[in-house]
Structure 1
Amino acid sequence: MMRLFLGCFLFLSFFKGFSQEAAFSIDTLNVKIDSLYREDQFYAGLNYNSIVKKPEGLSQEKISFGFTAGFLRDFPLNKSRTFAVAPGIGLSFNNYIQNMSIVGTNNNPIYSIIPSTVNHDKNRFEQLRVELPIELRWRNSTPESFQFFRIYGGFKVSYLLYDKSVYDDGNEKIVIKNNKDFEELLYGVYLSMGYSAFNLQVYYGLNSFFKSTAQIDSISITMNTLSVGVVFYIL
């Protein structure tokens, strides 16, 4: 009986000690700080599109908006991980409401400035693009904090997936898709800055929407964009 009692006591003591050791290991893992963290892997933004370097007589009507979303891979460059570079991929949709009509066909589009005396119900063009951004990043983040200041400068190239223009004067509605005069590749620079979830972003397009074949009165159409909006970064 004494041997049985002693054996049970030793077994329970060993089991209790093992359990305490296991519990300690789990707690230790729970409070471990990730010193190899990455920031801001996903992004989504809303922006207002303004047309710059526009043809004479062109003006914007109502609000031209855009939306963008995608993924960026964060690669820290220093030990404290406050500097990083981040290449990525995403999608953007933008529309432009203005007074330059596009009629004809996708292979033979005709462009003209709509006189102020002519009433029309709709006149816009819109584009869906896949974009490839790359950012140089600074932030004062730490492994323990998710709220910090950031300044991200970037460059991106976008490729045209889909385009559509609509002109409706109340009597006739003309819809053109896959316009041959739209540039497939656009590129530009941008700057994002903010604190925590709220960030402002400004983008400037370095080349025109249109190829040199797009003309009004034998003058090539130059039309770049300046976009201002908000962007949200998510881990």
Structure 2
Amino acid sequence: MKGFLCFVCLSLVLQATGQSPIKDNSSTADYLEDQFYFGITYNFVRNRAEDFKQRNLSYGLNTGFIRDIPLNQTGTKALGLGAGVAINNYYSNLGVRENGSGLDYVFDTDIAGFRRSKLETHLIEIPLEFRWRTSTATEYKFWRIYTGIKAAYVIGARSKLVTEDFTDGFFNSDIRRLQYGLTLNVGYNTFNIHVYYSLTDLFEENAVVNGESIGFRPLRIGFVFYIL
């Protein structure tokens, strides 16, 4: 999955390098904007257990294609519907261990020689956006405000626990497969701020630590880059 993301990102960079800063002087009704995207985020966690603490650099990568659907003749208003893939990593003090019937969650204070714990998720994403921008058929640099919703399906979730004595990694079956949340992308030209707030907890309700629901609602803040 990581190799695939790197390949896609390299392809997008090569396309951007060869792109002319002046658009084709075609009809204003014909031009489309911002159909390929690549994003990088820092992953915060909200709605979490009381003693939960984030550690290290929890990051995310996402890339994909969004079909631009203009709503007016000038192209300044549009809908966007697309598909993409994402990897998200969460480092914390929450460790997980397999038992005979499921998974046990404990904090670092209850794990001898604790070093780090990571949860990695792989997702297929479906973004839907309302797009407002100051673009024209000939202007390459413009302001944009895109807001909408994003649905995602978790196709892989792996927990990894590292201590002084052992390293253990396995598929985490307590992750909620269907995720959805609100998105906001705001910026000018190449650099744009990206915010995603999940409306669903990452863990299922039956996942608990010290008798308390883990919860774990992602808030991802970073940058998104558009091409073509």
Aligned to 1:100: 94
Q: How far apart are residue 218 of structure 1 and its match? A: 2.9
Higher relative strand content:
2
Give unpaired runs (5+ residues) of structure 1: 1-30
Give the partner amino acid of 1:85: L
1:126-141 → structure 2 map (5 Å cutoff): 126-141=120-135
**Contact 1:107 1:180 (C-alpha < 8 Å) held by counterparts:** no
Compared CA separation, residues 105 and 186, structure 1 to 2 (3 A): farther
Q: 1:187 aligns with which of 155, 159, 180?
A: 180
Compared CA separation, residues 213 and 37, structure 1 to 2 (3 A): same
Give unpaired runs (5+ residues) of structure 2: 1-23
Aligned to 1:62: 56
Aligned to 1:8: none
Higher relative helix content:
1
Rg: which structure is higher? 1
Q: 1:120 aligns with which of 114, 119, 130?
A: 114
Give the partner amino acid of 1:189: L
Compared CA separation, residues 220 and 71, structure 1 to 2 (3 A): same
User: Whose RCO is larger (CA < 8 A, sep 6+)?
Assistant: 2
Q: Distance in 2 between matches of 1:62 and 1:220?
A: 23
Aligned to 1:26: none
Deviation string, structure 1 residues 125-154 (Cα, Å, up to 9, x no partner): 100000000000000000011100000002
Aligned to 1:48: 42
Q: How far apart are residue 121 of structure 1 and its match? A: 2.5
Aligned to 2:7: none
Aligned to 1:111: 105
Q: Distance in 1 between matches of 2:194 and 2:101?
A: 36
Give the partner amino acid of 1:166: K
**Contact 1:106 1:180 (C-alpha < 8 Å) held by counterparts:** no
Identical-residue share of aligned pairs (%): 35
Q: 1:209 aligns with which of 202, 209, 214?
A: 202
Q: Distance in 1 between matches of 2:116 and 2:208?
A: 21
* 2:75 matches 1:75: no
* 2:138 matches 1:144: yes
Deviation string, structure 1 residues 59-109 (Cα, Å, up to 9, x no partner): 011110000000000001011110000010000100000000011159611
Compared CA separation, residues 114 and 137, structure 1 to 2 (3 A): same
Q: What is the DSSP-based 3-state SS (H/G/I as helix, E as strand, rest coil) of the residue aligned with 1:121?
A: strand
Q: Distance in 2 between matches of 1:221 and 1:173?
A: 22
**Contact 1:106 1:176 (C-alpha < 8 Å) held by counterparts:** no
